Amino acid sequence: MSNHELSMTELPKGIELLHEPSLNKGTSFTAAERDALGLRGLLPPRIFSQAERAQHVMNNIRRKPNNLEKYLYLIGLQDRNEKLFYRVLVDNMAELSPIVYTPTVGLACQEYSRIFRRPRGLFISRHDRNRVKEILQNWLYRDVRVIVVTDGERILGLGDLGANGMGIPVGKLSLYTACAGIDPGTCLPIMIDVGTNNNEVLCDPSYIGLVEPRLRGDQYDALLDEFMAETGKMFPRAMIQFEDFGNVNAFRLLERYRNRYCMFNDDIQGTASMTLAGLHSALRMIGGKLTHQRLVVLGAGGAALGIGSLMVSAMVEEGLSVDEARSRCWFVDSRGLVVTSRTDLSEHKRRFAQDYPLHQDLLSVVEAVKPTAIIGASGQSSTFTPAVLTAMARINKRPIVFALSNPTSQSECTAEEAYRYTDKRAVFASGSQFPKVAMDGQTFVPGQANNSYIFPGVGLGILASEASRVTDEMFAAAAKALDEQVSEEDFALGRIYPSLSRIREVSVNIALAVAKIAFARGLTALSKPPDLPGLIKSKMYDPTYQEYV
């Protein structure tokens, strides 16, 4: 039984109740509740509704001088009054998502050791080998359904932040609850601290993690194997999301575990699904078939190659052969175009190598390949230069420009640059939200190609169906479901993703698509219910205050 379902006899009383964030209602406890629960005199006498307190919170947030202060205020609220935190977040998703997640969470991770106040989740270090089970047993709740785990090596586009990366699992799980109604009592953030190779972090006297070089090789694998095995035993109904692992491990661990556990890598599969959804919507907006596109992806790490893999699968589904589909996906890494003549390619890159002359910079690649879309997953800011954008506009009537790297400081170009250098013809989306762009009497609302559109709904679908695996087919279905939620009104604003204000509705539709696949492919021991949408909605956490008396 989760905390919000506790009966009167099970409820803590007095100060203990006020110190339990999942149960505390602060000044919204009624007079009857204050008498019955030993709260009389422990609270100021005026009683507020939850709506009044939510407005008070928003007033305070809007008075804060910067986004980091807003983040700290919200995290403090989450630590005190969980339902009020989620009520405010759900009702103000478009405004607050950039605060609790990208781009502000990137700054919060950089400052994590200095702003650390109260531990959330579990920290498992390299020195906990053969003790992972003991650590998992220390977690208070047993009905864990969603775990987000990172080792902190590639936090957004910021690189190796070590244990400071714990802000990412915490933030992601907040979005699972706000966007898809996953009960926060069933969510568990985990940091696997295997050291860091970031000298600036290592030299910070306030750093909370291991002051050691990053662990590699067999010892790293043994720790991860133990973690996955013990987690599977301790929390058998949990879905595990890998987040912000470095390129050296991301694909390898996904292949190692995907057919043995209910897990996925959001940077690889979630980013790919969100990008495919954006491309579907862009082509609905401007006209065109997916199988006719030529895609140039800047970057060849986990996110970029995940995009390529899902694009190939989608094109094959629409009639191309695998070789034909791969011939339409081009990649540019730090050494130039990924081509067959190169001898420095990893196996994952080699699958996408083109039999083509080597071009070493993005502009020459664009001029030679003449892509219909450029997709940035490089973590390198300002790489979609004015010359690149101008070339895209010359080649295409409506160039598709996705600058996906997070946070905004790492984005390949800004929204304003994309519109300006394409004569306002770009179909643009970015990983973190850019503000509206007013130009020559027109106002553009840039699309936010953020994974928060995908992973919460996928998680809800897995939870509702109790699926044993997370498959690529589910992410392709999630992309189609997301595309279907984009309206003509969105297109009129130049937006290829729905407003975040509708995210719960969007997540339900994605969950439905995912759950249907779980039942159709026999990935669950449950029988398909007659009312699957009703089942999904019944699983969603409601942050409205419960009446205890």
pLDDT tens readout for residues 132-157: 999 999 999 999 999 999 999 999 88
Band (pLDDT 50/70/90 cuts) for residue 457 is very high
Tell me if residue 488 falls in helix, strand or coil.
helix
How many percent of the chain have pLDDT more than 90? 91
**Do 292 and 429 fall into the same domain?**
yes
6 in a structural domain:
no
- Least Cα distance to 470 among 258, 298, 289 occurs for 258
**Do 442 and 458 fall into the same domain?**
no
pLDDT digits (tens, 9 = 90+) for 307-321: 999 999 999 999 999
**Do 494 and 445 fall into the same domain?**
no
- 414, 388 Cβ separation under 8 angstroms: no
Phi first, then psi, for residue 203 (nearest 5°) are -90, -5
Q: What value does the mean pLDDT take over residues 454-482?
A: 98
- 276, 454 Cβ separation under 8 angstroms: no
What is the C-alpha separation between 479 and 485, in angstroms, rounded?
10
Q: What is the CATH number for 294?
A: 3.40.50.720
For residue 420, give both structure tokens: 């300006």
**Do 439 and 320 fall into the same domain?**
yes
Which residues partner with 448 through β-bridges?
430
Band (pLDDT 50/70/90 cuts) for residue 462 is very high
411 in a structural domain:
yes
> 87-112: b or e for each residue (b if 16 or more CB lie within 10 Å)?
bbbbbbbebbbbbbbbbbbbbbbbbb
330 in a structural domain:
yes
Q: Tell me the DSSP string of 365-385.
A: HHHHH--SEEEE-SS-TT-S-
Band (pLDDT 50/70/90 cuts) for residue 493 is confident
> 36-54: b or e for each residue (b if 16 or more CB lie within 10 Å)?
bbbbeeeeeeeebebeebb
Q: Is the pLDDT of residue 1 over 60?
A: no
Active site residue 101: yes
pLDDT digits (tens, 9 = 90+) for 383-409: 999 999 999 999 999 999 999 998 888
Q: Count of domains in the chain?
A: 3
User: Which parts of 81-131 fold into alpha helices (H)?
Assistant: 82-91, 93-100, 104-110, 112-115
Q: Is the pLDDT of residue 8 over 70?
A: no
What is the C-alpha separation between 314 and 549, in angstroms, rounded?
53
Q: Is the pLDDT of residue 354 over 70?
A: yes
Tell me if residue 418 falls in helix, strand or coil.
helix
Tell me which H or E stretch contains 336.
strand 336-337
Please give the pLDDT value at position 6.
60
Q: Which domain holds residue 521?
A: 454-538
Please give the pLDDT value at position 447.
86
| 126/347: higher pLDDT | 126
Q: Which one is catalytic: 25, 70, 83, 101?
A: 101
CB atoms within 10 A of CB 479: 26
Tell me if residue 274 falls in helix, strand or coil.
helix
Please give the pLDDT value at position 372.
98
pLDDT digits (tens, 9 = 90+) for 18-54: 999 999 999 999 999 999 999 999 999 999 999 999 9
Q: How far apart are the first and last CA of the chain?
A: 19
**Do 323 and 175 fall into the same domain?**
no
- β 295-298/263-265 pair status: unpaired
Please give the pLDDT value at position 347.
86
Band (pLDDT 50/70/90 cuts) for residue 5 is low
Q: Is the pLDDT of residue 348 over 90?
A: no
Q: Is the pLDDT of residue 458 over 50?
A: yes
Type of residue at 77: L
pLDDT digits (tens, 9 = 90+) for 254-279: 999 999 999 999 999 999 999 999 99
**Do 412 and 472 fall into the same domain?**
no
- 217, 195 Cβ separation under 8 angstroms: no
- 342, 335 Cβ separation under 8 angstroms: yes
Q: Which one is catalytic: 172, 176, 349, 421?
A: 172
Of 449, 479, 511, which residue is a domain's last? 449
pTM over 0.85: yes
Q: What value does the mean pLDDT take over residues 505-531?
A: 98
**Do 158 and 245 fall into the same domain?**
yes
Q: What value does the mean pLDDT take over residues 93-116?
A: 94
For residue 251, give both structure tokens: 């694909």
Q: Is the pLDDT of residue 182 over 50?
A: yes
406 in a structural domain:
yes
Q: What value does the mean pLDDT take over residues 440-457?
A: 92
Q: For residue 444, what are the contacts with CB-CB under 8 A and spacing of at least 6?
A: 415, 419, 424, 428, 436, 437, 438, 493, 494
336 in a structural domain:
yes
Please give the pLDDT value at position 19.
96
What is the C-alpha separation between 158 and 172, in angstroms, rounded?
17
Please give the pLDDT value at position 407.
85
For residue 332, give both structure tokens: 């540019």
Of 417, 449, 481, which residue is a domain's last? 449
Mean pLDDT score of the chain, rounded to an integer?
A: 95
Please give the pLDDT value at position 10.
83
436 in a structural domain:
yes
- 126, 195 Cβ separation under 8 angstroms: yes
- 438, 184 Cβ separation under 8 angstroms: no
Of 449, 478, 506, which residue is a domain's last? 449
Q: What is the CATH number for 143?
A: 3.40.50.10380
443 in a structural domain:
yes
**Do 335 and 227 fall into the same domain?**
no
Q: What value does the mean pLDDT take over residues 376-380?
A: 93
Q: What's the Cα-to-Cα distance from 493 to each of 4, 285, 419, 427, 437, rounded to whole Å?
A: 40, 11, 13, 11, 11
For residue 309, give both structure tokens: 């893999």
15 in a structural domain:
no
Q: Is the pLDDT of residue 4 over 60?
A: no
Phi first, then psi, for residue 236 (nearest 5°) are -65, -15
Q: Is the pLDDT of residue 465 over 90?
A: yes
**Do 254 and 156 fall into the same domain?**
yes
What is the C-alpha separation between 461 and 472, in angstroms, rounded?
14
Active site residue 172: yes
Q: What value does the mean pLDDT take over residues 512-526?
A: 98
What is the C-alpha separation between 454 and 503, in angstroms, rounded?
10
Please give the pLDDT value at position 2.
46
Q: What value does the mean pLDDT take over residues 351-377?
A: 97
**Do 146 and 113 fall into the same domain?**
yes
**Do 458 and 439 fall into the same domain?**
no
**Do 150 and 238 fall into the same domain?**
yes
